Amino acid sequence: MTLERFINEQEAKHPGATGEFSGLLHDLSLAAKLVWREVSKAGLVDVLGSTDHTNSSGDIVKKLDVFADETIFKAMDHGGHVCVMASEENEDILHIPDEYAAGKYVLLYDPLDGSSNIDANITIGSIFSIFKRVSTTGKGTLQDCLQPGYKQVSAGYIIYGSSTIFVYSTGHGVHGFTLDPSVGEFLLSHENIRIPSKGKIYSLNEGNYCNWSDGMQKYIQYLKESDKATNRPYSLRYIGTMVGDAHRTLLYGGIFAYPGDRKNPQGKLRLMYECNPMAFIIEQAGGKSSDGTKSILQVQPTSLHQHTPVFLGSTEDVALCEKFLKESA
Ligand code: AFP
């Protein structure tokens, strides 16, 4: 079962479908293959290392970031499926060139998540979030991009690790397709992924511990105590690439988090490019997302590059973390 066939078969289940959404997903899977090809030969060609400028969040931009950003934009700008795009690497929204038609969808993407891990050959990824436009005609607007996560019609990521997997949901479960380089096709490898209701792994940058709230510190201390009945102590696993840490959490259960702290009350991760799409995937797989008090998908965005505290994973684990945060609030 190739990704292409799966997309077409999903479309056939929707009698009114125009094929525009399928066309968008096909273009996205081509972009994923083009980025994979560059990532997989990163050590051999001149794409490692940094450019000499920073993005809107102050991160140093890597050469592969630029390649991935441009590749995704160029794969998506001419199909007539999207009316506007926004990328973590660009300050403003990205308009569709005048010579191409504007479609009914909106695409937001993090072209290369975990770029600080590229040179060390550690798992990286690309993340995407898709909405229907709210404006009626012509070029899309900032308002088309600033929609709450529950309005996503689809979201997903591509993980470039020991193998490359395209994981997405259109609101009907979460499915994963592994790239078979010998045929250049994404093949169904993880159908209808369900996250365990409770895990035994926690994943976060504990280096920020001293700046966390009492509730967050108490929660992590609780996970480290020994008690077989509750799977404790939990094991700590942290790559520093959200795609990798969230993908492991999706498959094995447990919790991934990037809390707010005294230095960064809103944490580090971006609502529109990282947290919304990952929350959509985790909740579609039967898990839970939170900003500490409510689902990430209920957060009303106010700016393209806003950050949010984020907690994702098994329902029981995220609910318990929320309880600890609430008790100390
Ligand atoms: P980069 O893309 O700058 O490497 O940041 C990756 C990321 O946005 C996310 O993928 C990680 O979960 C998080 O930042 C890692 O942040 P810390 O380095 O502060 O742990």
| pLDDT average, residue stretch 198-216 | 97
Q: pLDDT digits over 259-289, tens only?
A: 999 999 999 999 999 999 999 999 999 999 9
Residue 136, helix vs strand vs coil: coil
| Distance from the alpha carbon of residue 15 to the mean position of ligand 1, in angstroms | 41
pLDDT for res 63 = 78
Q: Which atom belonging to ligand 1 lies closest to the Cα atom of 270?
A: 8
Lowest-confidence region among 33-47, 53-67, 308-322: 53-67
Q: pLDDT digits over 61-83, tens only?
A: 667 889 999 999 999 999 999 99
pLDDT band at 41 (very low <50, low <70, confident <90, very high): confident
In the chain the first and final C-alpha atoms are separated, in Å, by 49
d(CA 281, CA 301): 19
Please count the helices (runs of H) and the strands (runs of E) in the chain. 8, 15
Pairing of strands 154-160, 82-87: unpaired
pLDDT for res 37 = 94
| Distance from the alpha carbon of residue 277 to the mean position of ligand 1, in angstroms | 16
Q: Provide the 8-state DSSP code for 305.
A: T
| Distance from the alpha carbon of residue 47 to the mean position of ligand 1, in angstroms | 20
Q: Provide the 8-state DSSP code for 112.
A: E
3-state secondary structure 172-238: CCEEEEEEECCCCEEEEEECCCCCCCCCCEEECCHHHHHHCCHHHHHHHHHHHCCEHHHCECCEECC
Q: Would you say residue 298 has pLDDT above 70?
A: yes
Interhelix angle 315-328/214-224, nearest 10 degrees: 140
Which mutation among 268, 270, 311 tests ligand 1's pocket best, with the greatest number of atoms within 8 A of CB?
268
| Distance from the alpha carbon of residue 164 to the mean position of ligand 1, in angstroms | 20
Cβ atoms 319, 293 nearer than 8 A: no
- Nearest Cα to Cα of residue 298 among 156, 134, 149, 155: 149
| Distance from the alpha carbon of residue 253 to the mean position of ligand 1, in angstroms | 20
Query: Which residue lies with its CA nearest to atom 19 of ligand 1?
Result: 205
Q: Would you say residue 45 has pLDDT above 70?
A: no
Residue 274, helix vs strand vs coil: helix
Q: Would you say residue 218 has pLDDT above 90?
A: yes
- Identity of the residue numbered 135: S
Query: Which residue lies with its CA nearest to atom 2 of ligand 1?
Result: 114
Ligand 1 site residues, Cβ closer than 6 angstroms: 59, 113-116, 205, 240-242, 258, 268-269
- Please provide the average confidence, as pLDDT, over all residues in the chain: 94
Instruction: Let me know how long the chain is.
Output: 329
| pLDDT average, residue stretch 128-135 | 98
Q: Would you say residue 58 has pLDDT above 70?
A: no
Q: Which residues pair with 188 in a beta bridge?
A: 177
- Identity of the residue numbered 181: P
pLDDT for res 51 = 67
- Active-site positions read 59, 65, 88-89, 110, 112-113, 274
d(CA 60, CA 50): 7
Query: Which residue lies with its CA nearest to atom 16 of ligand 1?
Result: 240
Predicted structure pTM score: 0.95
